[in-house]
């Protein structure tokens, strides 16, 4: 079902620039330590924290997000954000915001490729050959929800969060992040998001429950970040 992606390589252009703090996030929440990748979705799929810029493909566009803009997925084939090289720490957190426009059953791809983070019937899901984890909460249609999942490789504990609150956990030893990632749809099966994804982030450690709650509580203020000065090919924007 979830087989390797066949997409031409993306050429990255590195532009030398002094790091700058975004001036558009007054009152933002200080980003927790360990941030490896952060896609703010401000008109591009730039990673403002690391070196993992993505490509917007198909009918994917941009719409109103929790903070500025968000990736807007139409739920059609080939519409996704593709990150060819994605971070793979052993212990990790993946978190972001999702807004569903319609009630699509089955899987909806949030951040995954071969394994990773989906929604399954609007419940948080980690899939790897089988449903390793399915959360307790059902996300409503037409509202923003903050979702997060953490994995502690020392205890093999996978824990989900919805809107800052724990959403279940499971012990599983075969969990890791994909080396390339898709947001919004899957390449080997139609598992589309019809809606918006914003502020998707990957950390190289397990965030504390209080940190995840704080990110949710920050809402439209968003997370602060120091822009790294690296862009995808042809991009001259600091976002």
Q: How confident is the model at residue 222 (pLDDT cuts 50, 70, 90)?
A: very high
Which of 91-100, 124-133, 195-204 is predicted with the least confidence, judged by mean pLDDT? Answer: 124-133
Q: How confident is the model at residue 225 (pLDDT cuts 50, 70, 90)?
A: confident
Q: In the prediction, which pLDDT does 188 show?
A: 78
Range among 3-12, 20-29, 219-228 with highest mean pLDDT value: 219-228
Are 209 and 30 within 8 A, CB to CB? no
213: Cα separation from own chain's centroid? 17
Please enumerate in sequence order all residues whose Cβ is within 8 A of that of 208, keeping only pairs 6 or more positions apart, or say none. Answer: none
102: Cα separation from own chain's centroid? 19
Q: How confident is the model at residue 189 (pLDDT cuts 50, 70, 90)?
A: confident
Q: In the prediction, which pLDDT does 24 show?
A: 55
* Mean pLDDT over the full length of the chain: 86
Please enumerate in sequence order all residues whose Cβ is within 8 A of that of 225, keeping only pairs 6 or more positions apart, or say none. Answer: 21, 22, 25, 31, 35, 38, 40, 48, 49
- Considering the chain, what percentage of its residues have pLDDT values greater than 90? 77
Specify the DSSP class assigned to residue 90.
Answer: S
CATH of domain 35-231: 2.60.120.200
Which of 15-29, 75-89, 167-181 is predicted with the least confidence, judged by mean pLDDT? Answer: 15-29
Which of 56-65, 141-150, 188-197 is predicted with the least confidence, judged by mean pLDDT? Answer: 188-197
Mean pLDDT to the nearest integer, 104-115 = 93
Mean pLDDT to the nearest integer, 42-65 = 96
Please enumerate in sequence order all residues whose Cβ is within 8 A of that of 183, keeping only pairs 6 or more positions apart, or say none. Answer: 39, 54, 71, 73, 80, 81, 83, 109, 110, 111, 193, 197, 200
Q: In the prediction, which pLDDT does 228 show?
A: 56
Q: For residue 32, give the nearest of 230, 161, 225 by alpha carbon.
A: 225
* Radius of gyration of the CA atoms of the chain, in A: 16
**pLDDT tens, residue by residue, 32-41:** 999 999 999 9
Whether 22 shows a pLDDT value over 50: the answer reads: no
Mean pLDDT to the nearest integer, 44-67 = 96
Whether 50 shows a pLDDT value over 80: the answer reads: yes
State how far the Cα of 170 lies from the Cα of 198, in Å rounded to an integer.
26
DSSP 117-150: EEEETTEEEEEESEEEEE-S--PPTTSEEEEEEE
Are 82 and 7 within 8 A, CB to CB? yes
């Amino acid at each position: 079902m979830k087989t390797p992606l066949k997409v031409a390589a993306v050429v990255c252009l590195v532009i030398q620039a002094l790091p700058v703090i975004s001036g558009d996030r007054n009152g933002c929440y200080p980003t927790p330590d360990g941030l490896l990748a952060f896609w703010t979705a401000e008109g591009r799929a730039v990673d403002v924290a690391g070196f993992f810029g993505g490509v917007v493909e198909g009918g994917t566009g941009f719409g109103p997000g929790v903070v500025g803009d968000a990736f807007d997925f139409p739920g059609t084939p080939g519409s996704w954000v593709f990150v060819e090289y994605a971070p793979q720490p052993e212990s990790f957190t993946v978190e972001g915001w999702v807004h569903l426009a319609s009630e699509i059953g089955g899987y909806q791809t949030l951040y995954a490729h071969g394994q990773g983070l989906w929604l399954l019937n609007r419940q948080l899901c980690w899939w790897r050959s089988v449903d390793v984890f399915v959360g307790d909460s059902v996300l409503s249609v037409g509202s923003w929800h903050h979702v997060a999942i953490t994995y502690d490789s020392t205890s093999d504990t996978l824990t989900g969060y919805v809107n800052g609150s724990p959403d279940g956990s499971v012990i599983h030893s075969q969990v890791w992040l994909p080396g390339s990632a898709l947001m919004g749809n899957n390449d080997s099966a139609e598992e589309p998001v019809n809606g918006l994804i914003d502020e998707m982030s990957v950390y190289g450690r397990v965030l504390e429950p209080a940190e995840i709650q704080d990110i949710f509580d920050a809402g439209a203020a968003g997370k602060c970040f120091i822009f790294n000065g690296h862009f995808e090919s042809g991009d001259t924007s600091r976002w």
